[in-house]
Amino acid sequence: MFETFTLEMIALPEATLRVRYGGSGPPLLLLHGHPRTHTTWYRVAPLLARHFTVVCPDLRGFGQSSKPSDAHDFIASSKRAKARDCIALMDHLGFPTFNLAGHDRGSYTAFRAAMDYPDRIQKLAILDGVPILEALERCDAEFASRWWHWFFFAQPDKPERAIMADPAAWYGGTEDKLGPENFADFMAAINNPDTVKGMLGDYRAGLFIDHVHDREDRTAGRKVACPLHVIWSLRDDLAKIYGDVLAVWQPWAELQVTGRGIDCGHHVAEEAPEDLAEALTGFFLPDCMMEKC
């Protein structure tokens, strides 16, 4: 898994992240979702590494990266704090500007990084996500029935008790679908009480502070300044809940939003790696380089 990639624990000003990176070319930072770790990219990253320097961290609170000391410290678990980690990580690796893609919960950190650091992000890809404020303002019975876990995970203490009673049964996932090494990493994460608390902190911050940051941006008229490409899983819930996903994103972007669905379930990097790698390469790679591929 991740052959030729380097694996390091990198100490940053606010967190220590487990990071895997490799390849050559323009830098591309990939942010995973819940309840995965960076190893969810194990089939996509090598394909992208043909054209990019690919960087895959465990987000703060997830996997083997450091955890906020207090699971109810919404500031430390906020997407704004995790965006600072992303900037610090790419500074550490020597990339003053970079491309950025985030899936699921990672998409919210990617969005926040593009909003807070417009001079650092060259292009942004969002996978299976809409702005948290949009999700909450559009919440209806359909959303609540499909994504009820947003509200349960944000409650104090009880989610940890429910999950840790049987993490494998709660989250599901099998070795044949995830791949042996990715599955082992996933199982280690969901069976670690500190990691489960860290992952839940991401939801708590979403309901208590992240949407405030979104609202402040909207009120101030701030938008994503770089090109924005949105990808969603056709066999997941995003299009069922929102219909025209691109229309949800367009008010948040200065430029025309592009994107499309991919025929797979929620964990697109594991289920449709070739299609995802092709979509991301087509978006991130400069046109002049595409002609040489």
Q: Which residues have a catalytic role annotated?
A: 104, 266
Burial class (CB in 10 A: 0-12, 13-18, 19+), 164: middle
CA distances for 247 relative to 108, 126, 133, 242, 250, angstroms: 17, 14, 15, 9, 5
Amino acid at 161: R
Amino acid at 34: H
CB 218 within 8 Å of CB 162: no
Query: What gap in Å lies between CA 8 and CA 146, rounded to an integer?
Result: 37
Provide the 3-class DSSP secondary structure of residue 145. Answer: helix
Nearest to 19, CA basis, from 101, 89, 82: 89
| Beta carbons within 8 Å of 292's beta carbon, 6+ residues apart | none
Provide the 3-class DSSP secondary structure of residue 10. Answer: strand
- Pairing relation of β-strands 98-103 and 53-57? unpaired
Helix (H) or strand (E) holding 262, with range, is strand 258-262
